[in-house]
Each structure stands twice: as structure tokens, then as C-alpha cells.
């Protein structure tokens, strides 16, 4: 029996690890005006500070329809965003690459009461400008993780957490650098700018089948210890 358990338990855990679903997050560019503001040297010498206008009302969609979870739209959401833009550089193809770190939290503001929906924490990531297109790219391999807030946890099935793979993309439009200058200044510091942005992202979640397999694996392991 012990030999059988030694084979069965790892197999169950492997099956559980591969049986994951995913949910998607998004909001469109809120109107009117710009929402992103970067301040050159705002986070220290050579470091830009990129923040978001938390007064901008968002329609934040959480979509799990592909996994049978349905969807939920938070029509009175807001975002708190605070990133540091490291000195950037030009790639051989002419693209601008800027390392980034920071956090953002999207929250429901119904009734003027804040209830967090989703927090993203980035210990690494990149701001990429290619031609006239600018994006912030974040994913778990570069040091990005989502944390579900109370509003999202209440919508998710019981005991379901957000797991890897995870990613987030902020797509900027109408980026205007102060004085019409190039984005990068001396030493690669990012000049002050304003921009609009939309957002999309996704996170894996365990499927009910994966949770069941993990439960069975734990039960079998417990019986083995007895």
C-alpha cells in the first residue's frame, strides 16, 4: 500500500497542478481627460513616479464565463496606482524600454465606500514604447502577482485563490511628453508625461476538479500517516 501511495499522491498533485482555469480582468479608457501622470525625478534622482487619477470612474469587468463562473462588472470602480520608472534605454530596434516596479489596486467605490477588488504588485516589469505605442507589461515570470480583495473573493467560489500564470497590460494612448521632447532625458530618466490608458489582465485559478484532486491527495496522505 505504501508503494501505491508513493505513486498515487504525486500523480494526483501533478494532475491538480495542470488542471487550472483562468479569469480575465479589464477596463476601457475612462473619459474624459488623461489619467496617467509621470513626474520626472518624482521618485528620486533619475526615477520617474507614475500615478493614476483616482477620481476617474472605471467600469471594471471580471470575466469567468469560459470557466462557468459568469462575470461581474463593477461600474463604479476606481484605481490607486503608484509606480517607479527606472532609467530607460533604447533597444537596437529603436524601441524604448523602461524597467518598472510598483503596485496598483482597483476598488469598488459604490456609495463612496472603498472595497478592494484586485491588487497587483510588481517587483519587475517593463514600460515599452514602440513607435507611437506605449504599454506597461507585467507577468509572473518578471515578478508580478495579483491579490484578490474582499469584493473579488466574495464573487469567486469558496477556497479559490488567484494563482500563476498571471499578467497585466496597461495600453496607453495620447501620450504627451512635456515640451514635446523625447521620452528619455539625460541618463535615461523618463521625462514628465500624461497619457490615457486601458487595462487587461488575467490570472489562473484552480478548477473544481483540481481542488477535488488536491483534497483527495490530502486525504490519502493523511490515511498513510495513520
Mean pLDDT for 10-34 is 74
Separation between Cα atoms, residue 36 and residue 59, nearest integer Å: 17
Supply the pLDDT for residue 5.
Answer: 36
Same domain, 4 and 36: no
Supply the pLDDT for residue 19.
Answer: 59
pLDDT band at 208 (very low <50, low <70, confident <90, very high): low
Same domain, 219 and 180: no
Number of domains in the chain: 2
Supply the pLDDT for residue 219.
Answer: 42
Per-residue pLDDT tens digits for 127-154:
999 999 999 999 999 999 999 999 999 9
Same domain, 9 and 113: no
Same domain, 6 and 105: no
Same domain, 144 and 38: yes
Range of the domain at 10: 1-19+207-226
Residues 6+ apart with CB under 8 A from 222: none
Same domain, 9 and 80: no
For residue 86, what is its C-alpha cell?
527606472
pTM: 0.84
Q: What is the dihedral of CA 213, 218, 221, 223, to 10 degrees?
A: -110
Distance of CA 80 to the CA centre of its chain: 13
pLDDT band at 209 (very low <50, low <70, confident <90, very high): low
Supply the pLDDT for residue 28.
Answer: 98
Mean pLDDT for 58-79 is 97
Same domain, 144 and 175: yes
Same domain, 53 and 134: yes
Separation between Cα atoms, residue 112 and residue 130, nearest integer Å: 39
Supply the pLDDT for residue 32.
Answer: 87
Amino acid at each position: 500500500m505504501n508503494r501505491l501511495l508513493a505513486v498515487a499522491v504525486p500523480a494526483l498533485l501533478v494532475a491538480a497542478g495542470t488542471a487550472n482555469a483562468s479569469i480575465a480582468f479589464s477596463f476601457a479608457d475612462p473619459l474624459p481627460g488623461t489619467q496617467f501622470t509621470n513626474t520626472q525625478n518624482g521618485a528620486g534622482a533619475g526615477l520617474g513616479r507614475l500615478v493614476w487619477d483616482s477620481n476617474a470612474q472605471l467600469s471594471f469587468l471580471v470575466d469567468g464565463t469560459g470557466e462557468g463562473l459568469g462575470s461581474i462588472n463593477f461600474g463604479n470602480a476606481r484605481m490607486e496606482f503608484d509606480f517607479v520608472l527606472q532609467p530607460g534605454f533604447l533597444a537596437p530596434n529603436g524601441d524604448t524600454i523602461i524597467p518598472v516596479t510598483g503596485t496598483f489596486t482597483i476598488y469598488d467605490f459604490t456609495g463612496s465606500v472603498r472595497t478592494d477588488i484586485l491588487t497587483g504588485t510588481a517587483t519587475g516589469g517593463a514600460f515599452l514604447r514602440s513607435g507611437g505605442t506605449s504599454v506597461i507589461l507585467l507577468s509572473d515570470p518578471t515578478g508580478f502577482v495579483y491579490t484578490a480583495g474582499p469584493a473579488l473573493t466574495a464573487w469567486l467560489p469558496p477556497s479559490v485563490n488567484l494563482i500563476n500564470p498571471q499578467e497585466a497590460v496597461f495600453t496607453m494612448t495620447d501620450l504627451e511628453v512635456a515640451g514635446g521632447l523625447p521620452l528619455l532625458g539625460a541618463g535615461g530618466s523618463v521625462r514628465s508625461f500624461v497619457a490615457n490608458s486601458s487595462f487587461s489582465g488575467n490570472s489562473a485559478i484552480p478548477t473544481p476538479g483540481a481542488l477535488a484532486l488536491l483534497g483527495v491527495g490530502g486525504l490519502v496522505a493523511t490515511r498513510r500517516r495513520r
